[in-house]
């Protein structure tokens, strides 16, 4: 006897008894003369499977199916019909019937079909459970209750379900584009496949093609002697995330476009045509339409990438989310640094809500991290946040106590890596803020080249 329960709904006593007898030994069976009685019984317990006669007096089988599905969308119903009435069967399948069978029912077929159905359901449940687990482990939640964020998440849900559709995510720096790309991958049917990211801004121009498509052995000097798989191949059965896609050179754009058109490509130095079709999600914080009119981005590539375009609003455009996100980070960093902040003071709330966020959620995250790391107590104050006139004091010269100080090394030790990362993040955030979000100017403030700046900023601000 298995643990599965089955409802049989049939007005003919003989049919009901026959089926019931056949299934009794393996399953827990309850039978009903009418759809109404079966629907009432659902209140007590939803069975694993319902066998529903189509031709019932009173509420018809199809009406009952509809009623059951609207209350319990996951319910599994197999329709049983006396003759193959194609229209009714099609209607039932459209309404979400799992399968149908035609009377007279041969007991062997019946048992076989039911076993199949139950196995499919079990697998579906297992995959669903697995999916939920993968989501939980991989996806930091995208916090936000503002209407614009709700709209964005609605689109994310829809496009995730259709893995052939390329998606372009646009928005200012730090608005959560990468987080959204992750959400699209992990919510899609490809969630078990890899999510392969390529940061187009961090790869030297001459290496983009070999990174994307791989190379054959001996393709160029300095290349791995055995040849190498490209990112498109690694992303097969998964998602290829092309970050900072606006930074691709014109020649890389041409190659990418050719690949996107038919999924075909050659490795560098190779003659064999290969083919693969990962899901493609791209993101940029640069204005592609402007780049197109300046001749720096291909319009045809833009249309290929942006079949669905998701525009992530800046934090200044969704101020109602600021406190929610701040509290989320407060808890996160409490845990990370063993602190016990449990509220944000009113003046601190006001400061957060009225601050001009040039670095968006990333800036908010960094500010909360620093405030929690450096601060003590239970209430977060404007002094902890230090939003205005934050002196970019060099940590080496900071005093050992007071605002902005480095925690002193004690016998308990310090988390050196977290500390250094936090210092690095602070400078990058400050530089970006001083430069009004302009990366070239921010790079200059830190004495770095723009490429180095972007690369290190990505590393220190994103890889967490």
Ligand X SMILES: Nc1ncnc2c1ncn2[C@@H]1O[C@H](COP(=O)(O)OP(=O)(O)OP(=O)(O)O)[C@@H](O)[C@H]1O
Where on the chain is the footprint of ligand X (CB under 6 A)? 140, 142-144, 171, 173-179, 285, 325, 361-362, 365, 462
Quote the least distance from Cβ 32 to ligand X, whole Å.
48
> What is the smallest separation between the CB atom of 201 and ligand X, expressed in angstroms?
9
Least distance to Mg ion, CB of residue 177, Å: 5
The two structure tokens encoding residue 160:
């995730």
Cβ distance to ligand X smaller for residue 256 or 361: 361
Select from Mg ion, ligand X, none the partner in contact with residue 176, using the beta carbon and a kind-dependent cut-off of 5 to 8 Å: ligand X
Indicate which of Mg ion, ligand X, none lies near residue 173 (CB less than 5 to 8 Å, by partner kind): ligand X
Strands 264-265 and 308-311: unpaired
Q: Residue 175 binds what, of Mg ion, ligand X, none (CB under 5 to 8 Å, by partner type)?
A: ligand X
- Residues linked to residue 310 through DSSP beta bridges, in sequence order: 169
| Residue 144 interaction partner, one of ligand X, Mg ion, none, beta carbon < 5-8 Å per kind | ligand X
Looking up tokens 């372009």, which residue turns up? 168
The residue (of 22 and 184) whose beta carbon lies closer to ligand X is 184
Counting residues that bind Mg ion (by CB under 5 A) gives 2
We find the least distance from the C-beta atom of residue 457 to ligand X, in angstroms, to be: 8
DSSP single-letter state for residue 175: S
CA pair distance 351, 346, nearest whole angstrom: 9
Q: Write out the two tokens for 157.
A: 């849900």
In whole angstroms, what is the distance from residue 231 CA to residue 281 CA? Answer: 13
Q: Which does 361 bind (CB under 5 to 8 A by kind): Mg ion, ligand X, none?
A: ligand X
Q: Give the tokens for residue 341.
A: 């902040």
DSSP one-letter code for 160: H
Nearer to ligand X, 177 or 355 (CB): 177
| Measured distance CA(25)–CA(35) in Å, rounded | 24
Query: 143 contacts which partner out of Mg ion, ligand X, none, CB within 5 to 8 A by kind?
Result: ligand X
Residue 172: which of 281, 287, 60 has the closest Cα? 287
For residue 283, the minimal CB distance to ligand X (Å) is: 6
User: In terms of residues, how long is the chain?
Assistant: 464
Nearer to ligand X, 37 or 291 (CB): 291
HSE-up (13 A, CA, CB side) for residue 276: 23
Count of alpha carbons within 13 angstroms of residue 132, beta-carbon side: 5
**Residue among 86, 6, 29 at smallest CA distance from 54:** 86
- Residue 85: other Cβ atoms inside 10 A: 14
Shortest distance, position 178 Cβ to ligand X, whole Å: 3
Query: Which CB sits closer to ligand X, 25 or 353?
Result: 353
Per-residue contact track with Mg ion, 159 to 198, x per CB under 5 A?
------------------xx--------------------
Angle at 314 between CA 309 and CA 318, to 5 degrees: 110
Place of tokens 């019932």: 56
Q: Give the one entry of ligand X, Mg ion, none that residue 325 binds, where binding means its C-beta sits below a cut-off of 5 to 8 angstroms depending on kind.
A: ligand X
| Smallest distance, Mg ion to C-beta of residue 210, A | 23
The least distance separating Mg ion from the CB of residue 455, rounded to whole angstroms, comes to: 13
Residue of minimal CB distance from Mg ion?
Answer: 178
Q: Which is nearer to Mg ion, 159 or 201 (CB)?
A: 201
CB-CB neighbours of 266 under 10 Å: 19
Query: Which of ligand X, Mg ion, none binds 142 (CB below 5-8 Å, type-dependent)?
Result: ligand X
User: Which pairing describes strands 49-53 and 77-81: parallel, antiparallel, or unpaired?
Assistant: parallel
For residue 212, the partner it binds in Mg ion, ligand X, none, with Cβ less than 5 to 8 A by kind, is none
**Which residue, 59 or 201, is less far from Mg ion as judged by CB?**
201
Q: How far is the CB of 371 from ligand X (least distance, A)?
A: 16
Residue among 47, 84, 88, 41 nearest 66 (CA):
88
Q: In the complex with Mg ion, which residue's Cβ is closer, 178 or 321?
A: 178
N- to C-terminal Cα separation, the chain: 50
Smaller CB distance to Mg ion: residue 30 or 286?
Answer: 286
Q: Least CB distance from residue 162 to ligand X, whole Å?
A: 22
The two beta strands, 77-81 and 214-215, are unpaired
Residue 85 near which of Mg ion, ligand X, none (CB within 5-8 Å, type-dependent):
none
Helices (H) and strands (E) in the chain, counts: 19, 16
| Buried-exposed string 383-397: b where 16+ CB fall within 10 A, e elsewhere | ebbbbeebeeeeeee
Q: How near is the Cβ of 112 to Mg ion at its closest, in Å?
A: 51
Q: 195: closest CA among 135, 129, 258?
A: 135
- Cβ-based nearer residue to Mg ion, 8 or 208: 208
Q: Which is nearer to ligand X, 9 or 372 (CB)?
A: 372
Binding site for Mg ion (CB under 5 A): 177-178
């Amino acid at each position: 006897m298995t643990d599965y329960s089955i409802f049989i709904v049939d007005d003919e006593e003989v049919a009901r008894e026959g089926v019931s007898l056949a299934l009794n030994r393996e399953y827990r069976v309850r039978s009903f003369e009418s759809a109404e009685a079966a629907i009432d019984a659902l209140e007590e317990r939803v069975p694993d499977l319902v066998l529903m006669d189509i031709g019932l007096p009173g509420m018809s089988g199809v009406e009952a199916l509809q009623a059951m599905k609207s209350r319990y969308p996951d319910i599994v119903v197999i329709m049983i019909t006396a003759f193959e009435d194609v229209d009714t069967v099609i209607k039932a399948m459209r309404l979400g019937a799992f399968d149908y069978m035609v009377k007279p029912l041969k007991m062997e077929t019946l048992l076989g079909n039911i076993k199949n159905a139950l196995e499919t359901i079990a697998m579906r449940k297992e995959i669903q459970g697995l999916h939920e687990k993968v989501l939980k482990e991989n996806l930091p939640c995208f916090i936000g209750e503002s209407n614009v964020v709700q709209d964005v998440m609605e689109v994310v849900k829809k496009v995730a379900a259709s893995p052939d559709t390329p998606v372009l995510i646009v928005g200012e720096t730090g608005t959560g584009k990468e987080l959204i790309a992750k959400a699209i991958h992990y919510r899609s049917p490809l969630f078990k496949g890899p999510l392969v990211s390529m940061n187009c801004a961090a790869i030297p121009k001459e290496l983009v093609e070999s990174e994307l498509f791989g190379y054959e052995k001996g393709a160029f000097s300095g290349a791995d002697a055995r040849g190498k798989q490209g990112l498109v191949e690694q992303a097969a059965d998964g998602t290829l995330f092309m970050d900072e896609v606006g930074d691709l050179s014109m020649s890389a754009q041409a190659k990418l476009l050719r690949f996107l058109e038919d999924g075909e490509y050659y490795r560098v130095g190779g003659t064999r045509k290969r083919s693969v079709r990962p899901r493609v999600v791209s993101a940029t914080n640069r204005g592609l339409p402007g780049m197109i009119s300046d001749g720096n981005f291909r319009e045809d590539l833009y249309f290929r990438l942006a079949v669905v375009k998701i525009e992530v609003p800046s934090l200044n455009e969704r101020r109602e989310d600021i406190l929610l996100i701040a509290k989320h980070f407060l808890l996160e960093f409490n845990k990370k640094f063993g602190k016990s902040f449990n509220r944000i003071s009113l003046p601190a709330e006001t400061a957060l809500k009225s601050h001009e966020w040039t670095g968006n959620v990333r800036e908010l995250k960094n500010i909360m991290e620093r405030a929690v790391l450096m601060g003590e107590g239970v209430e977060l104050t404007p002094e902890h946040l230090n939003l205005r006139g934050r002196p970019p004091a060099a940590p080496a010269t900071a005093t050992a106590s007071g605002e902005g100080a480095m925690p002193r090394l004690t016998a308990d030790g310090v988390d050196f890596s977290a500390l250094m990362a936090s210092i690095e993040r602070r400078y990058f955030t400050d530089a970006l803020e001083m430069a009004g979000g302009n990366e070239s100017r921010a790079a200059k403030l830190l004495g770095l080249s723009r490429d180095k700046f972007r690369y290190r900023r990505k590393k220190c601000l994103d890889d967490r």
